[in-house]
A and B are shown apart, each in its own frame.
Chain A
Amino acid sequence: KAGVTQTPRYLIKTRGQQVTLSCSPISGHRSVSWYQQTPGQGLQFLFEYFSETQRNKGNFPGRFSGRQFSNSRSEMNVSTLELGDSALYLCASRLESTDTQYFGPGTRLTVL
């Protein structure tokens, strides 16, 4: 069974731009979560989607948003990028019946 895939793997943007990251969960997994990882703050939870609905949300500004499609694929959008948004963005999927998350390789975003 294929793992969680994320595209693109690397991205360079400039301040003020917006970016969309994509995540394809493991087949059969309907829950998708997004995390931001930085050296200073570690792994921080952004939000979780299940069956196209946002179920949980972390403490991030409204510039960070996401959505999930009927095939469980998810996208995350960051608008008006700031230098501090440079991070590894990780997506994870899981079966509804468990809390074990399976992570993708991440998207490395650099904001210049």
Chain B
Amino acid sequence: LAKTTQPISMDSYEGQEVNITCSHNNIATNDYITWYQQFPSQGPRFIIQGYKTKVTNEVASLFIPADRKSSTLSLPRVSLSDTAVYYCLVVSDDKIIFGKGTRLHILP
């Protein structure tokens, strides 16, 4: 299973773009990279998923370099409500393993 490593915590300010990078050095050919967001006392919520290059939806963008050993979640113009824990995970053979996540704190 591909293990993921991401920063434990990050701080940013409202209106800024936030980039959270995740490393997954032993990602397999068929694995996808998925990001979830979790607020306190709630279940994680799917944000975005990608395989390579760039994926964008109404919430975020996901950048994946050619070697796929890392990925970067980009949140444009964050607000206070984006304060949450963000999990990067790689799905291997139907096994979904969550890492420790990145605690993002948005300051006014």
Q: Which residues of A contact B (CB under 8 A)?
A: 4, 33, 35, 42-45, 48, 55-56, 88, 90-92, 99-106, 108
Contacts and interface: CB of A to CB of B under 8 A. Distances in A.
Nearest to A48: B94
Contacts of A106: 41-43
A33 B101 contact: no
Given A42-B98, A92-B44, A100-B49, 14 more contacts: A42-B99, A43-B87, A44-B98, A45-B97, A45-B98, A56-B95, A92-B43, A99-B32, A99-B49, A99-B91, A100-B46, A101-B46, A103-B45, A105-B43
Interface of B: 32, 34, 41-46, 49, 87, 91, 94-101
Contacts of A35: 98
Contacts of A88: 41
A79 to B, nearest CB: 24
A55 B46 contact: no
A102 B95 CA distance: 15
